[in-house]
Amino acid sequence: MDVKNRDRYEDIALEYRKKLDQSDPSVRGMTSNQSRWPLPSEIISGNTESDYTYTMGFIDYIDQFHRDITTCPLGRNNVPFQIDYGINGFLQRDEALKLYEMAYYAAFRGHNILELGTNEGLSSFLMATALKNHSNPEWRKVHIDTVDISPEWSASAQKTMRDRELSDYVNFHVGDATEFLDQRIAEGSQYGVAFIDHWHGYDTTFEAASRLADVLVPGGFALFHDFSDPNNFVPDHPYAVYQGVCDTILKDDRYQFFGLFGSIALFRVRPH
């Protein structure tokens, strides 16, 4: 199968858009933003709607840290639109806002968070900060399980958490993401939010997306980073996140599309 066949995925995306148009997007207390479903042609031309809006019914911003993301420094790695908290990584403001919101929501619900692809800890920092800021001694303390195949990156991320006094909120793992997911499934682990940001190739995305429903609680959320990156459609580029999601999540009626934020696609597992 040619995963770079744009015409094939344009057809798949058009059919899914029709399906969304015929469905009821309303979910009590939430905003689905399913009208943001992007076609490959729209991604390539830069014609997508992806500004941050809330999902969980919060008015304006959750807290001051959440609000401050909108004015945080930019330019990390010499990329003008990448946020810069002094931690290597690649996130836009709209993506950071959504990650913080969903992590805060997981803490509110008492659900742990899964992250595939620790890198050097930028996304872990944002989500762990949300957990810390939500902290309530009367509620169940939640944590992030994050895995990366690189021991060096994992070590760097651990130092980042120690330096920012967030280590209590993050469990670090080193290894293959698919094998880690299989282990979590065998152990019966459950998560309220999963952030998928490891290797962006087709096989790794397909393998992760195929397993997520087995570790997400009913009503849980999956976020796929770089879903709408135009590199997904460059013939010789290794990215194929969009294609991996289309060939798994879109074929599974348990999922509902909840919007595009920066390059992150958000999906919810329908409650039983």
pLDDT band at 143 (very low <50, low <70, confident <90, very high): very high
Distance CA 100, CA 50 (A): 16
Using the predicted structure, report yes or no on whether residue 112 has a pLDDT greater than 80: yes
CB-CB contact of 40 with 242 (8 Å): yes
Percent of the chain having pLDDT more than 90? 86
pLDDT of residue 30: 87
Half-sphere exposure of 159 (CA within 13 A, CB side): 11
Render pLDDT for 205-250 as a digit per residue (tens, 0 to 9).
Answer: 999 999 999 999 999 999 999 999 999 999 999 999 999 999 999 9
pLDDT for the residue numbered 73: 97
Q: What is the mean pLDDT of the chain?
A: 94
Percentages of the chain per state (helix, strand, coil), in multiples of 5: 45, 15, 40
- The reported pLDDT for the residue numbered 57 is 78
| Neighbour count for residue 254 (Cβ, 10 Å) | 15
Q: How confident is the model at residue 137 (pLDDT cuts 50, 70, 90)?
A: low
| Amino acid 140: pLDDT | 67
What is the per-residue pLDDT across 156-208, written as a single tens digit (0 to 9) for each? 999 999 999 999 999 999 999 999 999 999 999 999 999 999 999 999 999 99
> Of the candidates 164, 169, 165, which has an alpha carbon nearest to the alpha carbon of residue 146?
169
pLDDT-based confidence at 119, cuts 50/70/90?
very high
At residue 29, the pLDDT reads 80
Predicted pLDDT at 86 = 96
Burial string for 192-203 (b: 16+ CB within 10 Å, else e) reads bbbbbbbbbbbe
138 vs 23 pLDDT, higher one: 23
Q: In angstroms, rounded to a whole number, what is the distance separating the alpha carbons of residues 169 and 146?
A: 11
Q: Is residue 136 pLDDT above 80, yes or no?
A: no
What is the pLDDT averaged over residues 60-88?
95
Whether 272 shows a pLDDT value over 80: the answer reads no
Q: What is the pLDDT of residues 33-58, one digit of tens each?
A: 888 999 999 999 999 989 999 998 76
CATH fold of 6-269 reads Rossmann fold (3.40.50)
